[in-house]
């Protein structure tokens, strides 16, 4: 059991900063997902935590102790890679027993532990097979088992599911989550897949180009994104973003956009001045085709494109010069070319600074998460 802190950590490669001023606290027992597009510095951050890479600046602490110069073998961390890195000539049992043998652990205890881990991961019937005789998911489970046998203080995983097909990925996702619930080993999990992040994490840290933009619970990064880039990155289909402005009338605040005035919900406030140009956001899932309350403002759009997914349909609408995506029920009777009115949920409206992209809306109703959201200039 362990806590981790990145304290103003930089990692430079020549003039390029792969990780820039990373500040992140990970509490004991957390499942933190480092999320971001390719090249944003996720692997580099993980490798620094594992001791495979040294920070150029700043401190990394495990349980309060600075580990910058502690070699990987002395950090008590186990890492699972995208490529399972199994020994092809050894059986599953041989692969699992390799680490304990190298560490000269007690043979009887190793045998017992190995049997327990194999049974936990459903590997018992496969112990005498070689990696080539296993499916991708089974191989990944052996890699996990090998890491588990270390009983590490920290579990580090770098895109461990990216080589699996969609169904197996879903299954392994729930297996890893169940394992974490059971063992409560602090885990740092790297992925560029927001579905993995949203479904597995207790906390998500979103990075762009080496910088942390937001850290918080999955609900916080989804419902209260700190800036436009996080808002666009989390959620599929993406949040709709249209140009607009802040309009104040007495105590009421409206977002003027798409030829209408959308009133902010009761829990939302902004300090932004009247008439300030902003980027207005609302998610496809927060649009309805009927007014939630009589008199709610909506905007008209022409149905341009339908994507029926079975249980839901994604609808692209033309609203003047903007294309808006809305989620409709699976069997919604919509036809291309028809004009409909859409009503955004006033509690889930967003406004972002039109130059810097920072969120301009405060959501007082949202509880503080254990890992307080950190807002940094974009
Ligand atoms: N050893 C290295 N030498 C020079 N540049 C490097 C080195 N390792 C990483 N980089 C650069 O640092 C940046 C971050 O790389 P990193 O591997 O951490 O990204 P990532 O977020 O893990 O991406 P991916 O999702 O593609 O794995 C990239 O621009 C990469 O090219
Ligand atoms: Mg990587």
Tell me, what DSSP letter sits at residue 72?
A: G
Q: Ligand 1 within 6 A of 39 CB?
A: yes
**CA separation, residue 72 to residues 22, 44, 49, 79, 321 (Å):** 20, 14, 9, 10, 55
pLDDT of residue 179: 86
> Cis peptide before 356, with omega less than 30 degrees from 0?
no
Cβ atoms 41, 19 nearer than 8 A: yes
Rg (CA), the chain: 24
Q: Ligand 1 within 6 A of 38 CB?
A: yes
Q: Ligand 1 within 6 A of 335 CB?
A: no
Q: What residues form DSSP beta bridges with 186?
A: 154
Does pLDDT of 163 surpass 60? yes
pLDDT of residue 121: 83
Query: Ligand 2 centre from 22 Cα, in Å?
Result: 16
**How far, in Å, CA of 172 to CA of 141, rounded?**
8
**How far, in Å, CA of 150 to CA of 92, rounded?**
16
Does pLDDT of 369 surpass 70? no
Beta strand 4-13 pairing with 57-62: antiparallel
CATH superfamily of domain region 229-363: Nucleic acid-binding proteins (2.40.50.140)
Answer with the residue of higher pLDDT: 167 or 369: 167
pLDDT band at 82 (very low <50, low <70, confident <90, very high): confident
- Best mutation site among 41, 205, 213 for ligand 1 pocket (most ligand atoms within 8 Å of CB): 41
Instruction: Return the residue whose CA atom lies nearest to atom 10 of ligand 1.
Output: 18
Q: What residue spans of the chain are helical by DSSP H?
A: 42-50, 92-102, 107-120, 136-148, 166-183, 194-200, 218-223, 228-233
- Flag the least confident range among 69-73, 182-186, 369-373: 369-373
Does pLDDT of 129 surpass 50? yes
> What sign has the CA pseudo-torsion 217, 144, 22, 67?
positive
Cβ-in-10-Å burial (0-12, 13-18, 19+) of 183 comes to middle
pLDDT tens, residue by residue, 199-229: 999 999 999 999 999 999 999 999 999 999 9
pLDDT band at 371 (very low <50, low <70, confident <90, very high): very low
pLDDT tens, residue by residue, 26-44: 999 999 999 999 999 999 9
| Secondary structure string (H, E, C) spanning 93-116 | HHHHHHHHHHCCCCHHHHHHHHHH
Interval 122-133 mean pLDDT: 93
Q: Ligand 1 within 6 A of 87 CB?
A: no
pLDDT of residue 165: 78
Give the number of the atom of ligand 1 that is nearest the alpha carbon of residue 11.
Answer: 12
Instruction: Return the residue whose CA atom lies nearest to atom 27 of ligand 1.
Output: 38
Q: What is the pTM of this model?
A: 0.89
The percent of residues in the chain predicted with pLDDT above 90, rounded, is 72
Give the number of the atom of ligand 1 that is nearest the alpha carbon of residue 47.
Answer: 18
Q: Ligand 1 within 6 A of 13 CB?
A: yes
Nearest to 293 by CA among 318, 312, 266, 273: 266
pLDDT tens, residue by residue, 279-312: 999 999 999 998 877 778 899 999 999 999 999 9
Does pLDDT of 181 surpass 80? yes
**CA separation, residue 357 to residues 236, 273, 277, 374, 378 (Å):** 20, 16, 12, 15, 7
Q: Which CATH architecture has domain 4-228?
A: 3-Layer(aba) Sandwich (3.40)
Domain with CATH 2.40.50.140 in the chain: 229-363
Q: Ligand 1 within 6 A of 44 CB?
A: yes
- Best mutation site among 9, 11, 17, 40 for ligand 1 pocket (most ligand atoms within 8 Å of CB): 40
- Best mutation site among 14, 18, 38 for ligand 1 pocket (most ligand atoms within 8 Å of CB): 18
Angle of CA points 74, 78, 99, to nearest 5°: 80
pLDDT of residue 248: 96
Does pLDDT of 262 surpass 60? yes
Answer with the residue of higher pLDDT: 113 or 229: 229
pLDDT band at 170 (very low <50, low <70, confident <90, very high): confident
Domain with CATH 3.40.50.300 in the chain: 4-228
**How far, in Å, CA of 146 to CA of 108, rounded?**
17
Q: Ligand 1 within 6 A of 213 CB?
A: no
**How far, in Å, CA of 324 to CA of 284, rounded?**
8
Instruction: Please tell me the chain's helix, strand, coil percentages from 3-state DSSP, rounded to the nearest 5.
Output: 25, 35, 40
**Mean pLDDT for all residues in the chain:** 91
Interval 10-28 mean pLDDT: 97
pLDDT band at 366 (very low <50, low <70, confident <90, very high): very low
Give the number of the atom of ligand 1 that is nearest the alpha carbon of residue 45.
Answer: 18
């Amino acid at each position: 059991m362990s806590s981790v802190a990145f304290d103003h950590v930089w990692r430079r490669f020549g003039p390029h900063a792969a990780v820039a001023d990373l500040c992140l606290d990970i509490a004991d027992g957390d499942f933190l997902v480092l999320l971001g597009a390719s090249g944003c510095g996720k692997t580099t951050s993980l490798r620094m935590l594992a001791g495979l890479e040294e920070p150029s600046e700043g401190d990394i602490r495990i349980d309060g102790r600075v580990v910058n110069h502690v070699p990987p073998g002395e950090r008590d961390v186990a890492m699972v890679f995208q490529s399972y890195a199994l020994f092809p000539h050894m059986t599953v049992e041989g692969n699992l027993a390799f680490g304990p043998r190298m560490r000269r652990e007690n043979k009887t205890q190793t045998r017992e532990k190995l049997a327990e881990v194999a049974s936990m991961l459903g590997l018992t019937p496969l112990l005498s097979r070689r990696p080539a005789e296993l499916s991708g998911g089974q191989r990944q489970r052996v890699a996990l088992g090998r890491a588990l046998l270390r009983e590490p203080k920290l579990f580090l995983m770098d895109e461990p599911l990216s080589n699996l097909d969609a169904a197996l990925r879903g299954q392994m996702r729930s297996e890893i989550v169940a394992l974490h619930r059971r063992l409560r080993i602090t885990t740092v999990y790297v992925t560029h897949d927001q579905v993995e992040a949203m479904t597995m994490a207790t906390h998500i840290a979103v990075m762009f180009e080496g910088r942390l933009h937001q850290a918080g619970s999955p609900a916080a990064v989804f419902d209260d994104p700190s800036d436009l880039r996080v808002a666009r990155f989390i959620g599929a289909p993406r949040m709709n973003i249209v140009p607009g402005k802040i309009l104040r009338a007495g105590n009421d605040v409206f977002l003027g956009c798409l030829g209408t005035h959308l009133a902010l919900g009761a829990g939302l406030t902004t300090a932004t001045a009247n008439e300030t140009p902003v980027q207005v956001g609302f998610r496809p899932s927060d649009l309805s085709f009927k007014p939630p309350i009589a008199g709610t403002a909506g905007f008209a759009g022409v149905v341009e494109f339908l994507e029926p997914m079975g249980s839901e349909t994604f609808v692209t609408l033309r609203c003047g010069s903007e294309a808006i995506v809305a989620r409709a029920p699976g069997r919604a009777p919509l036809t291309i070319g028809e004009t409909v009115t859409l009503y955004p949920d006033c509690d889930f409206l967003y406004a972002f600074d039109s130059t810097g992209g920072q969120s301009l809306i405060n959501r007082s109703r949202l509880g503080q998460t254990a890992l307080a959201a950190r807002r940094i200039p974009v």
